[in-house]
Structure formats: structure tokens, C-alpha cells
Amino acid sequence: MTKLLLHICCAPCSAYSVPALRDEGFDITGYYYNPNIHPTSEYSRREDALQSWRRIADLTVDVPEYDCGEYLTAVPTAGKDRCTFCYELRLRTTAREAKRREIGTFSTTLLYSIYQKHDLLRAVGERIAREEHVAFHYRDLRTGWQKGYDAYRPTGLYRQNYCGCIFSEKEKIDRRKKQKKKEKAG
């Protein structure tokens, strides 16, 4: 079996990703590194759900200390490229951790989400793999979206409704406000 360090953004995205990657022959260790998630209470809710889910999935998950400082300091200067910055930060850290542990391959559960910028994720992962000299395993996991949703939903565990960053939370709130105005006007 090939060892794989899998960046895990959240428990729901791992519900399909982990079994699918295991079916490909990977021995997976999860890595929950997400300094982009804001506020801290949201980070904790997602971590708690992942800790429960990992027991169901029989998965080892390492959780480095949460520190949103680097993300919150640097992302305002990233502007419209905040997703690129976020992918870069999380995938590079995962690649370096894989290299440190002598795990030859890394990937991410972000490849499962239908809401992520998939082509950008792939390009960032492949570039980091070249730069860090560790393999990036690409697989379009979006094909299992419904299967993952169906596997996770009966657990009753927390399922978030935004990507995690403060900007996406604001966008979610703005969409809700716009929808409410539309409903009142309609």
C-alpha cells in the first residue's frame, strides 16, 4: 500500500474521499490543517465532528495546533486571489509534513467539494508537488458528491454551510440578506 497524507478540510468531505482513496490502495493518514477557518468556534465545531467521524471511518487524523495568524495577516493582501493563497497555504504545509514524515504522496479532500475551484486546486497541488519534491495525488472526487453526502448525513454530525474563511461567511450572510429582500419584494 502507498502511504498518503491527506489534507482534510472537514469531516463531510472525508466521508467519500477516504473510502475512495483507500479503494485505490492508499494507506491514509489524515491531516486537519485549516488556519483559514474563522471564527475559532467554527474551527472547533469542525474539529469535533472530524474527531467523531474519524472513529467511524477508522482513520488516524493528526491535528496541528490551530493558529489563524498567518492566514489572517496575509490574506488581505491576496485580494481576489484569496482562494489561491488559502489552497497554497494548506497544501504546501501538508506537502512539507508529508516530506518530513517520509510519506511520498499528499492530496486533499477539497477535491471532493463541488464548491471549490477544482482546476485551481489541481494546479496549485501539482506546482507544490514539483517545488517540494513530493507527489500530489489528483483525483476528481466530485463524482462521489451524493454518495459522500448520503454516507455522512445519517451520523448527525455537524455539517458546515460555508468554506470556513471569514470572507465566505460574509458572502453567505450577504446571499441570505439578498434572498430575504427578494422574497419580501416578490
42 belongs to a structural domain:
yes
Full pLDDT tens readout for the chain, 186 residues: 899 999 999 999 999 999 999 999 999 999 999 999 989 999 999 999 999 999 999 999 999 999 998 888 887 776 668 889 999 999 999 999 999 999 999 999 999 999 999 999 999 999 999 999 999 999 999 999 999 999 999 999 999 987 888 888 888 888 889 888 888 887
Say what the pTM is: 0.92
184 domain residue, yes or no: no
Domain at 11, CATH number: 3.40.50.620
What is the count of structural domains for the chain?
1
Residue 45 in domain: yes
**Would residue 153 count as lying in a domain?**
yes
**Distance between CA 90 and CA 31 in Å, rounded?**
10
Is residue 176 one of the residues assigned to a domain?
A: no
Residue 171 lies in a domain: no
Domain extent for 7? 2-160
- Tell me the sheet residues that pair with 108: 7
Residue 179 lies in a domain: no
What is the H or E stretch that residue 11 is in?
Answer: helix 11-23
The pLDDT score that the predictor gives to residue 80 is 66
Return all residues near 12 (Cβ < 8 A) that are at least 6 apart. 49, 148, 149, 152, 157, 159, 160
